[in-house]
Amino acid sequence: MPDTAVLDRLQQVRGFVLDMDGTLVMGDRDNQGLVLLPGALDLVQALADRGLGFCIYTNGTVKTPAQCADALRQLGLPVAPEQALTPASTAVDVFLERGHRRVMVLGGTGITEPLEAAGIETVPPLRGTPCDAVMAGWYRQQLTFEALEAAVFAVFDGAEYYSASQSLFFATAEGRSLGTSRAISAVVRDITGCEVTVVGKPSLRALQTAGRRLGVPPAELAVVGDDPELEVPMAHRGEALAVAVHTGIGHAESFTDLPADVRPHLDLPGVGALAELLRSVSPHPSG
Residue 276's pLDDT is 96
Q: How far is CA 112 from CA 55, 187, 252, in A?
A: 21, 22, 37
Tens-level pLDDT at each residue, the chain (287 residues): 688 999 999 999 999 999 999 999 998 766 678 999 999 999 999 999 999 999 999 999 999 999 999 999 999 999 999 999 999 999 999 999 999 999 999 999 999 999 999 999 999 999 999 999 999 999 988 999 999 999 999 999 999 999 999 988 776 777 777 889 999 999 999 999 999 999 999 999 999 999 999 999 999 999 999 998 899 999 999 999 999 999 988 887 888 877 877 899 999 999 999 999 999 986 655 54
Domain 4-86+202-280 coded CATH 3.40.50.1000:
yes
**Separation between Cα atoms, residue 183 and residue 186, nearest integer Å:** 5
Instruction: Give residue limits of the domains in the chain.
Output: 4-86+202-280, 88-198
Specify the amino acid at residue 12.
Q
Q: Domain 88-198 carries which CATH code?
A: 3.40.50.1000
- Distance (Å, whole) CA 40 – CA 221: 19
How far is it, in rounded angstroms, from Cα 112 to Cα 119? 11
The span from the CA of 147 to the CA of 84, in Å, is: 29
Query: Rounded to an integer, what distance in angstroms lies between the CA atom of residue 99 and that of residue 28?
Result: 36
Coil, strand or helix at 164: coil
pLDDT one-digit tens code per residue, 184-222 = 999 999 999 999 999 999 999 999 999 999 999 999 999
